[in-house]
Amino acid sequence: MNGQPMPCSQEELGSLFLFEKLSPDQLGLLCREGRVEEFAPGPVYGEGDAATCFYVLLEGTLVLSRRIGDYDVEITRSSSRGVYAGAFQAYLGDRLRQVYNSSLRVLEPTRFFVLPAETFATIMRDWFPMAVHLLEGLFFGTKSVQEAVGQRERLLALGSLSAGLTHELNNPAAAAVRATSALRERVAGMRHKLGIIAARPYRRDTLETLIDVQERTAECVAKSTTLSPLEAADREDTISDWLDDHGIGDGWQLAPTFVQAGLDIDWLDQVAAAVDSDTLDGAVRWLNYTVETELLMNEIEESTTRVSALVTAAKQYSQLDRAPHQVTDVHELLDSTLLMVSAKIGPHITVVKDYDRSLPDIPAYPSELNQVWTNLIDNAVAAMNSTDAGGTLTVRTARDGDHLLVEFCDTGPGVPAEIRERIFDPFFTTKPVGEGTGLGLDISWRIIVNKHNGDLSFRSVPGDTRFQVRLPLTSTNSPPPKEPS
């Protein structure tokens, strides 16, 4: 938008803090190369447009805003003479994409000193060569430091997750190994008992009955339900008494296995009816091996299923086999992240999932959203651990207008009022030295706001801290533009 041209005054320029140290010749050059324009209330330039001019406020009120989703969020409002906006990094040249990183509008008739970007860059290099070198070093150095520390933040998170995943995988894997070893012993015992039974003069119909009982025993194991400790103890006593009454020694050792399999006195009566009293002991012990074998195979199946679920979660978390930007089910991402960080959460923190499963899939960068979930969960867990009393982490999803809301709520002590304005600042951390880089929330904010056109905010009181992520349900850009440099 072009303003109304007006005369340029060297005296007025010299009164601004930005130009107060310039010589009369330099102020004269600024007036010759630049111009003064008055703008009516409304827009001056838009975010993402080519940065062609450097603006210095002479009189009036300006507002700078950033586009977040479908909303323009105000980031600066000022009436201070000398504040500047626009192409103020033009001196970096083609090493930086020269676009306006925000939108500028004025609220009243406002005068600016306007300098073409090329002229501004030339003046900076000619008049302040040392300052330009220092600014270049500061800009690119800070950017490199942020990238390096950001990479370290990701590596620290990866190391923590790898340790947690190793721990989670070790438990079911070790259980499967133990169960396999025990299964080998039980199968050997079953073969031995089967040999003893086969050596007996059983009638054909008796053997068929035993085989039928064995099949029904295996079915009972598959359908067994978990009893309360009191119910299990009562049933063990009853079965132990039955075994003792029928001359089967060490019944107290067999009873727990039968109870775990869901077997009762009726089942034992069927076994007793199928064989004579002389062979009942061998038949019961043979069927005991059958029960133990089925239980061990169940344990192996559960353990290997757990391993498979963990591998699937790791794959889902890393998104290694998927496109960087895709339509994604947020709940799958949340579940995989919670599973990956479960070792860090620990048993003293209760996790509650309050999902709205009717929400649609959304366009997103899944692996980067997982990084955000990890950072927010890690902060919530750290806050609750600081009290040594545990707590509850609630992960909630809901529709919020045309956005999808993901909320992480913890019952920790809350964010102190004196640091609330700084928690999204780079390198700011309340964790002890060596435990945090101070980039977790900064990176999360950049991922949500700059890459997803969403919003990340929080509210906090003692016992109820909520970090809220809002993501657009639909995208006008596919994929969204890269984060501005």
Residue 198 has pLDDT above 50, yes or no: yes
How many whole angstroms from its chain centre is CA 472? 18
Give the span between the Cα atoms of 407 and 458, in whole angstroms: 9
**3-state SS track over 323-340:** CCCEEECHHHHHHHHHHH
Q: Is the pLDDT of residue 262 over 60?
A: yes
**Which residue, chain included where needed, has tokens 């009120």?**
61
Q: What is the pLDDT of residue 38?
A: 92
* Percentage of residues of the chain with pLDDT beyond 70: 77
**Range name among 148-152, 294-298, 349-353 with the lowest pLDDT average:** 148-152
Q: Is the pTM of this model over 0.85?
A: no
Model pLDDT, residue 367: 79
Determine contact, residues 468/178, Cβ cutoff 8 Å.
Answer: no
Q: What would you report as the CA-atom Rg of the chain, rounded to the nearest whole angstrom?
A: 36
Give the pair of three-digit tokens for residue 50: 């080519």
> CA dihedral in degrees (247, 248, 253, 259; nearest 10)?
-100
DSSP letter (8 states) at residue 484: P
Which two tokens mark 213? 């009982």
Which tops the pLDDT comparison, 153 or 279? 279
Q: Which of 134-143, 317-326, 334-343 has the highest mean pLDDT?
A: 334-343
Confidence of residue 193 (pLDDT cuts 50, 70, 90): low
What is the H or E stretch that residue 406 is in?
strand 403-410
Q: Quick one: pLDDT at residue 134?
A: 66
The crossing angle, in degrees rounded to 10, of helices 229-245 and 251-260 is 130
CA dihedral 73, 74, 75, 78 (to 10 degrees): 170
Extract the tokens encoding 93. 């040249």
Instruction: Judge contact between 315 and 333, C-beta under 8 A.
Output: no
Confidence class for position 478, pLDDT limits 50, 70, 90? very low
CA distance 218 to 189: 17
Work out the number of other CB atoms within 10 angstroms of the CB of residue 320.
Answer: 9
Query: What was the pLDDT predicted at 483?
Result: 42
pLDDT at 175 over 90: no
Is a pLDDT exceeding 60 seen at residue 416? yes
- Looking at residue 113, what is its pLDDT? 93
- Which domains are assigned to the chain? 4-127 (2.60.120.10), 162-310 (no CATH), 323-472 (3.30.565.10)
pLDDT number for residue 146 = 58
Distance CA 349, CA 116 (A): 58
Banded model confidence at residue 417, pLDDT cuts 50, 70, 90 = confident
Tell me what the pLDDT averaged over the chain comes to: 79
pLDDT of residue 187: 76
Q: Which residues contact 443 (CB under 8 A, 6 or more apart)?
A: 150, 153, 371, 372, 375
Q: What is the mean pLDDT of residues 419-425?
A: 69
d(CA 422, CA 402): 29
Question: Rounded to whole angstroms, how far apart are CA atoms 309 and 318?
Answer: 14
Tell me: the pLDDT tens digits for 210-247? 777 777 777 777 677 777 888 888 888 888 889 888 88
Average of per-residue pLDDT across 252-260:
84
Residue 356's nearest CA partner among 310, 311, 414, 405 is 405
Closest to 190 in 3D by CA, of 298, 269, 296, 272: 296
Quote the CA–CA distance of 181 and 306 in Å, as a whole number.
Answer: 19
Model confidence at 20, pLDDT cuts 50, 70, 90, reads confident
- Report the amino acid identity of residue 212: D
pLDDT band at 481 (very low <50, low <70, confident <90, very high): very low
| 156-165 as b/e: b if 16+ CB within 10 A | ebeebbeebb
Residue 434: pLDDT band by 50, 70, 90 thresholds? very low
pLDDT average, residue stretch 452-477: 85
Question: What is the model's pLDDT at position 470?
Answer: 94
Residue 273 has pLDDT above 50, yes or no: yes
Q: What are phi and psi of 35, to 5 degrees?
A: -155, 160
In tens, the pLDDT along 56-101 reads 999 999 988 877 555 566 778 889 999 988 887 777 777 777 888 8
Q: Is the pLDDT of residue 405 over 90?
A: yes
pLDDT-derived band at 479 (thresholds 50, 70, 90) equals very low
d(CA 254, CA 236): 9
Candidate from 119-128, 132-141, 361-370 with smallest mean pLDDT: 132-141
Weakest mean pLDDT among 201-210, 260-269, 438-447, 455-464: 201-210
pLDDT (mean) for 402-412? 93
Q: What does the chain come to in residues? A: 485
Mean of pLDDT values over 288-298: 80
Between 145-154, 274-283, 407-416, the lowest mean confidence (pLDDT) is in 145-154
